[in-house]
Amino acid sequence: MDLAAVDNLIRSSEPVRRLWRGPTFMLVGLSLLLGALWADPGLLPGGRLIAFLLPQCLLIAILAVMLWDNRQKQRMNRLLDEAMDAVRLQDWAKARTVLPDLLGSPIRQAVIRTQSLLALAVVAETDQHYEASQRIYEHILEIGIGGPLQRHSAEVALAAAMLRNGQTTDAVTLINRLSLQNLPEPLKAQVELLTLLREIMMGHGDEAVLRVDQRKELFRCHLSTRAAYGYALFAAAFDRVRRPEAAGRWWHDATLLMTVPELLRWCPELKTVAGRYPAVESPLR
């Protein structure tokens, strides 16, 4: 999912910004015609007959528009559910098929469009097209779509994308701003994971080791299986300060939750750790 494809889907999914949409214009026109005929049935040949039939036609037209709109919403919701399931299950091939179908036409519901774009960004990151994912996050934040939680997630992910794209100064500034906010613990866990990633990418393993106890509780309580990312970064931090026993324990915990290929896809910097410490395959996978 490269930058050009992402730009196309951002444009195609933008809601049409018109005062009158086609179905609305049609219904307003029929209503005006009905009002005119009721006022003066002689305006058209057979005016009384038309005045009798037109309300029925108007009612049918309204029902048809409502049914069409409802079917469009159902289709959007179905495609969104399929896309989110594909991302959760890491079925990237299906996600690459469903998301362009979902985002290929205008989406009026801001929450659905935002969630779809966030899923698209995850696919772009999986393909290591970080410039494409950054474009998505910046678009969400620039126009302010979605809910507060979605925008916060976009901010955190934007900082990570900036790190990947070598925009270190901007990334650190954004991370520091996020760290200073008074956030509920589930959101704080995301920011702490991002801060830990920054420390590892910048070679500050000693800083990461000092805050392991505080962070591990946040990750364990609020990140679900994504806590594996934090544990893997702990392993990298202890490895860099030459404490292999601790590094091996954290790598063990990380690979109980997530496979090594999944961890390396998220953070290629873990390749050295993966080569030094044995992974544990969970019987649940």
User: What average pLDDT does the segment 153-162 reach?
Assistant: 91
25, 27, 28, 31: CA torsion to nearest 10 = 160
169, 132, 205, 151: CA torsion to nearest 10 = 80
In angstroms, the CA 82 to CA 127 distance is 19
Cα angle value 222/278/208 (rounded, 5°): 45
As a whole number, the mean pLDDT across the chain is 85
Q: How does pLDDT run across 49-91, given as a tens digit for each residue?
A: 665 666 667 677 777 777 877 787 788 889 899 999 998 888 9
CA-to-CA separations, 70 to 4, 64, 75, in angstroms, rounded? 32, 10, 9
In angstroms, the CA 279 to CA 49 distance is 81
User: What average pLDDT does the segment 20-42 reach?
Assistant: 59
Q: Residue 23 has what pLDDT? A: 57
In angstroms, the CA 177 to CA 136 distance is 20
pLDDT category at 9 given cuts 50, 70, 90 is very high
The pTM for the full model equals: 0.76
Q: Is pLDDT at 48 greater than 70 in this prediction?
A: no
Q: Is 70 exposed, middle or buried (0-12, 13-18, 19+ CB in 10 A)?
A: exposed
